[in-house]
Amino acid sequence: MKINLIGVPLHLGADKFGCNLAPKTYREANIVNLIESLGFEVFDCGDVNVLETDEKRKYEHHPNLKYLHEVVDANNKLAQKVYESISNGNFPLILGGDHSLGLGSIAGASKSIKNLGVVWIDAHGDINTDITSPTGNIHGMPLAASFGIGHEALVNVYENRVKIKEENVFHIAGRDLDEGEVELIKGSKGQFYTMDKVKKLGIKNVVKDMLNYFKNKVDAIHVSFDLDSIDSLFAPGTGTPVKDGLSVEDAKYILESLALSGMMCSLDIVELNPVLDKDNKTLDIAMYLIKNTLSKLKYGLENRLTA
Ligand SMILES: NC(=[NH2+])NCCC[C@H](N)C(=O)O
Ligand SMILES: [Mn+2]
Ligand SMILES: [Mn+2]
């Protein structure tokens, strides 16, 4: 198994410059060497090509889906890379970029894996639609679109089908939810462990619930990690920071437990904004989490084979 690095220099889904620079920042911080030092072979697939556009064309395709055409195009390309990586027996590590890239990751992973589970770790719900979104930023919509709720252009990214079952979604660390998102969660078949719930239960119990929930339920799990799930005090370098979030150790524990479970097939690390970061704090956290998570992947594979 190789690790496939896939960079997604996309910020149009966030409508804020900066997170498009993150893939370059990770490479300059020697992410490839870091992963190789864990004993993995790394193949860097390079960056997904993002179409050029400009501010004036934001609403060209839809009044509340900014840069719709460009975001969909980038996700179609990403989905193909993720699909190829997994179907070749490799592990795609997707480096964002804004979180709209979850559309493409999940589309690609769910083409290889029939019954895909998704763990979405995020201060935000990312379950808005063009109707409920207060901003029109597509990075607030990818999770809903993946389970079939939202504009058809997002739901049908890459392939005309709903990518995952709503009940296969496990969301952790929500604490900045919009009205429409709260409504959707109320009637949802997905699992939503908000920050309040995390604090009440403790992270160990959250992870226990998560692993039990997915046991015998899904074929594999795609993990989508938004760095703003971490408390903005520790991780200031994101476009939409929120306080009172996960500690770095909480995040580490969630991710390493998923790696050790043997169920994780792919991983997004999103929303690093190097322009907003302070002393590389957020970059360092991201690198630390990537290193620790991947270092546990091998044990996960063994666990899977012996299970
Ligand atoms: N991936 C993210 N950081 N999403 C932030 C979304 C913020 C807000 N809920 C919106 O829909 O615009
Ligand atoms: Mn997000
Ligand atoms: Mn977020």
Q: Is 99 helix (H, G, I), strand (E, B) or coil?
A: helix
Distances (CA, A) of 52 to 11, 18, 49, 141: 11, 15, 9, 22
pLDDT over 90 (residue 162): yes
Do residues 116 and 222 lie in contact, with contact meaning Cβ atoms separated by under 8 Å?
A: yes
Looking at 47, 70, 98, 126, which residue is catalytic?
126
pLDDT over 60 (residue 307): no
pLDDT over 80 (residue 303): no
Write the CB contacts of 281 (distance below 8 Å, at least 6 apart in sequence).
234, 235, 236, 237
- For the CA of 136, the nearest atom of ligand 1: 12
Residue 98 annotated as catalytic: no
Phi-psi group of 215: left, alpha or beta (phi > 0 → left; psi -120 to 50 → alpha; rest → beta): beta
When the pLDDT of each residue in the chain is averaged and rounded to a whole number, the result is 97
- Give the pLDDT confidence score for residue 22 in this predicted structure: 99
pTM: 0.98
Residue 69 annotated as catalytic: no
pLDDT over 90 (residue 226): yes
Q: Does the ipTM exceed 0.95?
A: yes
- Give the pLDDT confidence score for residue 300 in this predicted structure: 83
Compute, in angstroms, the gap from residue 136 CA to the centroid of ligand 1: 9
Residue 176 annotated as catalytic: no
Place of tokens 């690790």: 3
Q: In this structure, what DSSP letter does residue 200 have?
A: H
Q: Which two tokens stand for residue 75?
A: 């996700």
Q: What is the pLDDT of residues 111-161, one digit of tens each?
A: 999 999 999 999 999 999 999 999 999 999 999 999 999 999 999 999 999
Q: How confident is the model at residue 305 (pLDDT cuts 50, 70, 90)?
A: low
Phi-psi group of 216: left, alpha or beta (phi > 0 → left; psi -120 to 50 → alpha; rest → beta): left
Do residues 45 and 85 lie in contact, with contact meaning Cβ atoms separated by under 8 Å?
A: yes
The phi and psi torsions of 174 (rounded to 5 degrees) equal -60, 135
Give the chain's domains with CATH numbers. 2-306 (3.40.800.10)
